[in-house]
Amino acid sequence: MIKATAEEVAAQEFESIVASHRPQIFRFLLASTRDVDLAETLTQDCFLKAHRNWASFRGESSAMTWLMRIAINLQKDHWRNRRIQFWRLTRTNAVDLDEASDWLPSGERSVEQRMLAREKVAKVWRSVENLSERQRTVFLLRFVEEMDLKEIAAATGMGEGTVKAHLSRALGRVRREFGETQ
């Protein structure tokens, strides 16, 4: 009876974790892959894996960092498997950069301002497209998920210095796209 109650508590706890962190995990995977179906599948896999290992989560890092680490690893595995299965026809559902740039809330901007903003967002997407896997991950964690360097280091398993170096290179590329000097 007591065991059943403890399990119920754990289940409820996990449900609340899913409810609060699912949008963030999905957003990161969507930005990384630009593929809605793939992002949904990887998000589900992430929470499935988290559920299986929930008992082993000791709370050394935040649940978000732990989940993000699982998501990053799943994403890596996905691309690695994709590379190994070279005989499969490459069928990706990733939306093109222009379409990804369309999702910009109009706010209080004029049509012209919206057009300009859309162009700039497209430029950022183009830069992100050309980043290495690690640079992209670090860049998105920093500028989309707004994680600090320590959190990024914990989520990616890299040292803080390495994170900083990747971030610097990624920003360099974005700056070049914008014609800025470093």
Partner 1 sequence: MNHNDPNAKMAGQEDPEKLGPELREALGDFKLSVDAWSEAMISRPREAKAPVRANWNAVTKWALGCAVFAGTVSSGVYQNHKQVEAAKVEAARIAEQQREMEAARVAKVNEEDLMANIDSDVARQVPSALQPLASLMTDDEAQGN
Task: Give the interface segment with partner 1, choosing from 7-15, 35-43, 52-60, 63-71 (CB under 8 A).
Answer: 35-43
Using CB under 8 A, pick the residue from 17, 72, 74, 125 that binds partner 1.
125
CB 52 → partner 1: shortest distance, Å?
22
Query: Residue for token digits 């963030």?
Result: 24
Minimum Å gap between C-beta 144 and partner 1 is 5
23 contacts partner 1 (rule: CB under 8 A)? yes
d(CA 163, CA 142): 10
E strands within 7-155? none
Distance CA 6, CA 37 (A): 35
The Cα–Cα gap between 177 and 141 comes to 20
Q: How far apart are the first and last CA of the chain?
A: 64
Q: Is 167 in the site for partner 1 (CB under 8 A)?
A: yes
User: In this chain, which of 3, 60, 84, 105 binds partner 1, going by CB under 8 A?
Assistant: 105
CB of 95 to partner 1, least distance (A): 9
Q: Should residue 175 be labelled a site residue for partner 1 when binding is judged by CB under 8 A?
A: yes
36 binds partner 1 (CB under 8 A): yes
* H or E stretch covering 122: helix 111-129
Report the alpha-carbon distance of residue 40 to residue 151 in Å, rounded: 23
Residue with tokens 């360097």: 149
Enumerate binding residues for partner 1 (CB under 8 A).
22-23, 26-27, 30-31, 36-37, 39-40, 87-89, 100-101, 103-105, 117, 120-121, 123-125, 142-144, 146, 148-149, 164, 167-168, 171-172, 174-175, 178, 180, 182
